[in-house]
Structure 1
Amino acid sequence: MIPRVTATIDLSALRNNLGVVRRLAPASRVMAAVKADAYGHGAVPVSRTLVAAGVDVLAVACLEEAMTLRQARVQAPIALLEGVISGEEAAQAVYEQLQIVVHDHWQIALLESLPASARLSLWFKLDTGMHRLGFPLADVPRLVETLQRHPGWDFQGWMTHLACADEPDNPFTGEQIGRFDAALRGIAGARSIANSAGLIAWPQARVDWVRPGLALYGCSPLPGVSAASLGLRPAMRLESRLIAVREYAAGEGVGYGLAYRCPERMRIGVVAVGYADGMHRAFRSGTPVMIRRRRAYLAGRVSMDMITVDLREVPDATVGDPVLLWGDGLPAERIAEWAGTLSYELLCGLTQRVHFRHLNGAD
C-alpha cells in the first residue's frame, strides 16, 4: 500500500543539530525537549537517538509523556517540565526516577507528603517575567530553606523560561537574565535559562544547562534567520503526491467557494493531503510546495483530504509525482508563515493518518 502522506524523519539531522547546540554552548549540559511526541517527530526514536548521541536529560511536559518513554525502555534521566499534579503522580515520578520541575508551593506540599525514604530529584522553576509558571523571585529564600529542611532531596538546580528570546532586539530577555542572576546570587545550584532562541541569540543565557527544542528538529527559532545559516538541518520531510491533473480555462474557479480563479488557461494539480492530515486550512493561495524540484503554489482553499495547486511552473508534472510540503528546500518555519502560524504548530499538528518512517538511526 502506498501511503497518501509520509513524514520522513532523518535521525542523522538530529545528531547534526545537537552538534550545533554543543558548539554554541560547549560548557553547558543539554536537556533536550522531546515533549509533544518530540515536536511531532516521534518521541521514542528521537529520544533513543539523542540519548545515544549523549544528551544529559530528556524533557517532557507531563508524566504521561515520560511513561511513554519508560515503557519503551528509554532509561535516560527525564525531567517533567510541568511537574506533578497529584500525590499519585509524585509517587510514580519518584518510582520512575524522574526529575520533577517544581513551580509552586502546593507541589512542594505534595512532595513533602511522600515517605521520607522517597528518592526525590527536582528542579525549582522561577518566574523572571514570563508570568506563566514559576515561583516569584522573592520566594527564593523560602525555597532555600525548603532544601535545607530536606537534605535527602536530590536538587538539580534552578531554571527559568524566556518570554521574548526570539526577538534579539527586545531588551526584556536581558532583564529576565539579570533578574535570575540577582535572585540567585550567592546561592548554590546549577542554572538553566536558554531555550532554542535563547541559546542562539543570547550568549549570556548559555549557563550550566541549555534546553533546546525547536533547534534540535532543524528549524530556526529566529524570524529572518534561516536554519541553514545556523548549520541546522530539518529532520522532517513531509510529502504527498499528485492524484489528478486537469486543465481549466481562464476565469474558472477552483475548490470550495471557488476562492481561486484561474488567471489564464492553466493546469491544476490535486494533491492528496488536507487538514485531516495536518495541512492547516489557514494556508493561503500562493503557499509553495515543491514538485520535480520546482515550486508550485496552492490555488484555493485547503479541504479535508486534498489541496489544489497551480502547475504553471511545473508543466511536466504528472499524476504520481511526489509533492514536498515542507522539509529540506521548503523550511517549515517559512511555510508556517503562509498560515499565520509557527513551525511548532505545523510539526506538532500532524495526525494519525500520516505515515511516519525514521531513517539513519543509531546502529
Structure 2
Amino acid sequence: MRPLIAHIDLDALRHNYRLARRCAPYSQSIAVIKADGYGHGALACARALADEAPAFGVASLDEARVLRRGGIETPIVLLEGIFSADELAEVDAQRLWMAVHSRWQLDALQAYTPEAPIPVWVKVDSGMHRLGFAPDEVEAVWQALCDAPQVGELHLMSHFATADAAASEHYARQLACVKDLACRLDAPLSLANSPATLAHAEAHGAYNRPGVMLYGSDPLEQANAVSRGLEPVMTLRAEIIALRTVGPGERIGYGGRFCTRAPTRVAVVSAGYGDGYDRHAADGTPVLVEGRRATLAGKVSMDMLTVDVSDIPEARIGSEVVLWGRAANGAVLSVDEVARHCQTISYTLLTGVLPRVPRRYHPSH
C-alpha cells in the first residue's frame, strides 16, 4: 500500500470537545461536523462524541442522512436549513432541527404539516451579510414562527465575522445587535463559534457551536492559554520513498524553484497535491522527519514532494514524515503553521485531504 495515511485520534477529538465544554460550562456545545467532519470522517467523529454532544451541526440534509444511516440518533441541526421545500418531509421524518434564514424557508415551513413540530433556529444577519434576516425583520419572523403549529422549540442564532481577532469593533457590534434581540424576544441564543467559544465568554449562549477547534486547530489570531491546550486530531503521515544528494547550484522539482546552495540531501516523500497537500506550499514549509523538523524544497507534485534532510542523517527509505500532526516521538507540527506557509487556513488543508488517502482511526470506532 502506498505509504500515506491520515491517522485520526478520536481521544484527541474528545479532549478538544471537553475543552470546549469547560470554556462554557453553562452552555451546551453542539459539535459541528459538517464537510465530513472537517475532513476527518463525520460518522466516525459523531460516534466518538455521541455520548457527550447534545447535538451535531451539519450543512445539509445529505450530511445529516449519512449520520442517521450510520445509526446516530442525536439531534442534528441543519445550519443552512433546507435548500428546497421538498426536503421538509425528510427533515420531519429524521427528526432534524433546522435553521430558517430566508422568507421562502419560512413560507415553506408554514405550508407544511409535519408529524411533530420541527425545532427551528432563526438566523439573524448581524453583520456577516451572508445568511439571515435583517435585525429589523426578526421580531415579525419570530412571532410568525411562535404562532405556527409546525414549529417546535425556537432559538435565535447568528455568526461572527471577526471573533478570531484580538480586538474588533465589528465583533462588538454584532454581539450587541443579537443580544438586544434575544433580550427583547426572551430567546435562547446561539452565537459562539470556535474562536468565540475559546476567547469570548460574553458570547456564550444556550448553545455554542465549536467547529474547527474540535479538530485541534487554533482559530484565534493570537493563541491564548485555553487554545494552547488543543490537541491535533489528524496526523497526515507519509514516508520517504527515495533519497539522493545533489551538488550546489542544482534545481529541484517543477520549474526549478528551489536551487541548492551547497551539497544537499533530498528526500522524496509519498504525498502530493493529488492527495490534497496544498500545491502552494512554499519552500521552507515545515515537515517532521523522524520527529525532527525539516523543510520543503521545491514545488509540490501530484504524488510526491521533496524535502531537504541534510541535517537529519538518520533519514532513510521508509522514515516517517509527518506533514502535520503528531510524530511517533511525540513532536507536534501544527496544521495552522503549515497553512500559513501555504497562504491559506487550516480549514482548507483539513477538508482538502482527498478520498484516496485512507483514514485510520484510533481507538477503533
Q: Same fold (TM over 0.5)?
A: yes
- Structure 2: 5+ residue runs without aligned partners? 327-331
Match of 1:159 in 2: 157
Aligned 8 A contact 1:290 1:325 in 2: yes
Q: 2:136 aligns with which of 115, 135, 138?
A: 138
3-state SS in 1 of match to 2:275: coil
Given that 1:12 and 1:360 are in contact with CA atoms closer than 8 Å, whether structure 2 keeps it comes out as yes
Q: Partner of 1:183 in structure 2?
A: 181
d(CA) in 1 for partners of 2:23, 2:156: 21
Task: From the superposition, tell whether residues 86 and 310 of structure 1 become closer, same or farther in structure 2 (CA, over 3 Å).
Answer: same
Residue 90 of structure 1 aligns with an amino acid whose one-letter code is L
- In the alignment, which of 48, 55, 58 is matched to residue 57 of structure 1? 55
Deviation of 1:294 (Å):
1.0
* Alpha carbons of structure 1 residues 116 and 75: separation in structure 2 relative to 1, 3 Å: closer
Q: Secondary structure at the match of 1:276?
A: helix
Q: Is the 8 A contact 1:218 1:227 kept in 2?
A: no
1:45 aligned partner: 44
Residues 122, 321 of structure 1: alpha-carbon distance in 2 compared, 3 angstrom cutoff: same
Of all paired residues, the percent bearing the same amino acid is 39
Matched, 1:102 2:100: yes
In 1, Cα distance between the equivalents of 2:357 and 2:248?
35
* 2:32 maps to 1:33: yes
Does the 8 Å CA contact 1:239/1:323 hold for their aligned counterparts? Answer: yes
Is 1:219–1:227's contact at 8 Å kept on the other side of the alignment?
no
Structure 1 residues 41 and 117: alpha-carbon distance in aligned structure 2, compared to 1, 3 A threshold: closer
Distance 1:82 1:296 in 2: 42
**What is the CA–CA distance in structure 2 between the aligned matches of 1:137 and 1:228, rounded to whole Å?**
33
Could you give the per-residue CA deviations for residues 303-329 of structure 1, whole angstroms, max 9, x where no partner exists?
101001101121221111110000131
Measured against aligned partners, the alpha-carbon deviations of 1:279-322 in whole angstroms (never above 9, x if no partner) come to: 11100000011111211110010010100110112122111111
Residues 137 and 146 of structure 1: is their aligned pair in 2 closer, same or farther, counting only changes over 3 Å? Answer: same
Residues 259, 152 of structure 1: CA spacing in aligned structure 2 closer, same or farther, 3 A cutoff? closer
> Do the aligned partners of residues 320 and 63 (structure 1) sit closer, same or farther apart at CA in structure 2, a change above 3 Å counting?
same
Question: How much has 1:361 moved relative to structure 2?
Answer: 5.0
Matched with 1:349 is 352
Contact 1:164 1:173 in 2 (8 A): yes
**Equivalent residues of 1:130, 1:163 under 8 A apart:** yes
Question: Is the Cα–Cα contact under 8 Å of residues 32 and 57 in structure 2 kept in the other structure?
Answer: yes
Q: TM-score, normalised by structure 2?
A: 0.95
Q: Deviations over 1:171-209 (max 9, x none)?
A: 211111101011232313310000000111211101111
- Matching residue of 1:7: 6
- Tell me whether 341-350 or 287-296 shows the greater mean CA deviation: 287-296
> What is residue 233 of structure 1 aligned with on the other side?
231
| Residue among 307, 310, 316 paired with 2:308 | 310
Matches within 5 A, 1:80-99: 80-99=78-97
- 1:24 and 2:30 matched: no
Cα deviations across residues 114-164 of structure 1 (Å, max 9, x unaligned)?
126553221101110000001111112211321232145212310000000
Q: Distance in 2 between matches of 1:113 and 1:151?
A: 11
Give the distance between the partners of 1:83 and 1:293, measured in 2 at CA.
44
CA contact (8 A) 1:12 1:361 kept: no
CA distance in 2, matches of 1:227, 1:9: 24
Q: How far is 1:74 from its partner?
A: 0.7
Structure-to-structure mapping, 1:146-225, within 5 angstroms: 146-225=144-223
Within a 5 Å distance, the mapping from 1:218-297 to structure 2 comes to: 218-225=216-223, 230-297=228-295
Secondary structure of 1:273's partner?
A: coil
CA distance in 2, matches of 1:194, 1:145: 24
337, 359, 362: which is aligned to 1:359? 362
Is the contact between residue 252 and residue 258 of structure 2 (CA under 8 Å) also seen in structure 1? yes
| Whole-Å separation in 2 of the counterparts to 1:234 and 1:272 | 21
Name the CA distance, whole Å, in 2 between partners of 1:156 and 1:119.
Answer: 11
TM-score (norm 1): 0.96
Check whether the contact 1:87–1:113 (CA below 8 A) recurs between aligned residues: no
Amino acid in structure 2 at the alignment position of 1:195? N
